[in-house]
A and B are shown apart, each in its own frame.
Chain A
Amino acid sequence: MLPYEARIGVLAQLVVLHQEEFERWLKSGEWNSVYASQQRWIGKDAGMRELIKLTRVSKSWMVLALDGQLWQSFDLKAFPGLAPSLVMKIAQGAGAFVHTLNLQGHTYLKPSSLVAISSSLSLSVEQASPVTQLTTINLVGCATLTNHSLHFLLLRSLNVRNLYLHGLDCVTSATLSDILGPRCPRLVVLDIRRCHHVSASGLSSFAVQCHTRALAERTPCPLKVLKIAGVKGTDVEVMRNVGRAFPRLQVLDASYCRDLTDECFSAFVEWPTTTTITGESSAGTEMAGDTGSTLFGKFVELSSREAGLDPGDPSRHLRRITSLRHLNVSGCRHISDKACSNLAYCVPRLEFLEMAAVGGEVKDEGLDDEIDQED
């Protein structure tokens, strides 16, 4: 009889064999559309499927195949037909080892199942609330979940970094303002596109809480990807709060936020007036401000003409230099090329700009301002 760890090693190698087989197909050119149409599972997914089949061999093999060491990534996206009882068995075996929870496509996942899974994945600590070690949670397509079951999971997942909740009705403004804002400080990716019960006030409250924490801890919020497509009521105040709270934002998907206007982007790149600015400046020059200003990134000082305002106005205007690389404002009917002028000089890293179906007001002047500052 092999030692238990060696038996686990055999099953781990079984998954590796499937991954290597797929890589060989790719390298040799054997993998083509005909082959792909015949294979339902490939690579790691095929390996994990084989693991699950091994639970039928005997009781001891079931314990082995569902051992948590083999399920550190609780990625069941490829198995939407998995019976809830089996999902629970896997969760109980996996325990607190799990860092990734991917149940995308499990449309029949019940709220009670998610609560049970959350409990199984939690680590109980004396005199403290149970916590999971989850850093990635993907529940896209889990349409029958309730607000309570989602919050039950999130309250135990304070270290979550990547959160994908696209299109879920169970996501509400309270999810942002009561859970994510105060309790999930390590978020890097937040995808709440098409969550119809999320309002702009919830988003704004989330941003303000992140901003307040950043000021208290003297550490900028780590959020890099924010997808809020379809959120209603995103106005100037909301975008101002979002801009201030997330200086490291690289991807902003605000498509189909139909209340967005050009002025929203002026507010997005507005430099907070409460921060002391030191040093001399000249037009268009980047400056690193004092210690307080580094929380918001760097800023640039612009003339009125450069800022897209009245050229005759002699005032100077401070604008935040963002980290944006991808901006999507498609479907925002009130956006025109003036939004591009408002963003000029503030998006030096921009690689993708999506402005499909923004209405008929996009003229060359605004786009030229945007492009010229990149050169």
Chain B
Amino acid sequence: MDLGREDSEYPIPLPNVTSPVLKKVLEYCDHYQTDPLPTGDEPSADESRKRTTDISEWDQKFIDVDQEMLFEIISAAHSLDIKPLLDVGCKTVANMIKGKSPEEIRKLFNIVDDFTPEEEAQIKKENEWAEDR
């Protein structure tokens, strides 16, 4: 980021971003510094960016990291307000979820099923219609 000579004297604290993650974020920013992606804040531009930003080949290689690093990249993108990187990260996780059953998702992300048997039965009944094909 080009903050100007005066502001470069003061460090910017990034408490939630570790050094390896920052390295990856800088790699992303370096790659796109000459080819900027739309970053409009208007709702329609935001929607359009989400819809048209298919994960490119470079992005796919870039984001091909372990789950912990992936989540840290998403967190860093969120803290640093880098919307395109946030979208790439979110889309990658969404692809991991897509089409999986609740049991498979729990296994993938080590989630504990905290429903009681009665709650589970109620929800299963509510979701019966969604199981039909």
Interface residues, chain A, CB within 8 Å of chain B?
1-3, 5-6, 9-14, 16-20, 38, 40, 49-50, 52-59, 61-62, 79, 81-83, 85-86
Contact B106 A58 (CB under 8 A): yes
Out of B78, B94, B111, B133, name the residue touching A57 (CB < 8 Å): B111
Binds A, one of B18-26, B30-38, B123-131: B123-131
State in angstroms the CA–CA spacing of A10 and B54 once bound together: 15
Q: How large is the interface on B (under 10, 10 to 19, 20 to 34, 35 or more residues)?
A: 35 or more
The closest CB in chain A to the CB of B98 belongs to: A17
Given A6-B78, A40-B132, does the pair A58, B115 have CB atoms closer than 8 Å? Answer: yes
Give the residues in chain A near B114, CB-CB below 8 Å.
58-59
Out of B71, B91, B93, B98, name the residue touching A50 (CB < 8 Å): B98
Q: Does B105 contact A (CB under 8 A)?
A: yes
Given A19-B51, A54-B102, does the pair A49, B130 have CB atoms closer than 8 Å? Answer: yes
A interface SS class? helix
Q: Can you list 6 A-B contacts (CB < 8 A)? A: A2-B78, A14-B98, A50-B97, A57-B111, A81-B129, A83-B126
Q: Does B86 contact A (CB under 8 A)?
A: yes
Contact B127 A17 (CB under 8 A): no
Given A10-B93, A53-B130, does the pair A59, B115 have CB atoms closer than 8 Å? Answer: yes
Out of B54, B75, B97, B99, name the residue touching A6 (CB < 8 Å): B75
Q: How far is the CB of B42 from chain A (nearest CB, A)?
A: 16
Out of B50, B106, B125, B129, name the residue touching A13 (CB < 8 Å): B50
Given A2-B74, A57-B105, does the pair A82, B129 have CB atoms closer than 8 Å? Answer: yes
Contact B94 A10 (CB under 8 A): yes
Q: How far is the CB of B89 from chain A (nearest CB, A)?
A: 8
State in angstroms the CA–CA spacing of A81 and B125 once bound together: 11
State in angstroms the CA–CA spacing of A122 and B91 once bound together: 32
Contact B50 A86 (CB under 8 A): no
Give the residues in chain B near A54, CB-CB below 8 Å.
97, 102, 105
Given A59-B115, A61-B111, does the pair A9, B86 have CB atoms closer than 8 Å? Answer: yes
Out of A11, A55, A57, A79, name the residue touching B106 (CB < 8 Å): A57
Out of A2, A13, A55, A81, name the residue touching B94 (CB < 8 Å): A13
Q: How far is the CB of B82 from chain A (nearest CB, A)?
A: 12
Contact B111 A58 (CB under 8 A): yes
Q: Does B90 contact A (CB under 8 A)?
A: yes
Out of A2, A19, A79, name the residue touching B129 (CB < 8 Å): A79
Interface residues of B in 4-42 (CB under 8 A from A): none
State in angstroms the CA–CA spacing of A309 and B128 once bound together: 66
Out of B50, B86, B93, B123, name the residue touching A56 (CB < 8 Å): B123
Give the residues in chain A near B105, CB-CB below 8 Å.
54, 57, 61
State in angstroms the CA–CA spacing of A38 and B97 once bound together: 22
Q: How far is the CB of B112 from chain A (nearest CB, A)?
A: 7
Give the residues in chain A near B91, CB-CB below 8 Å.
13, 16-17
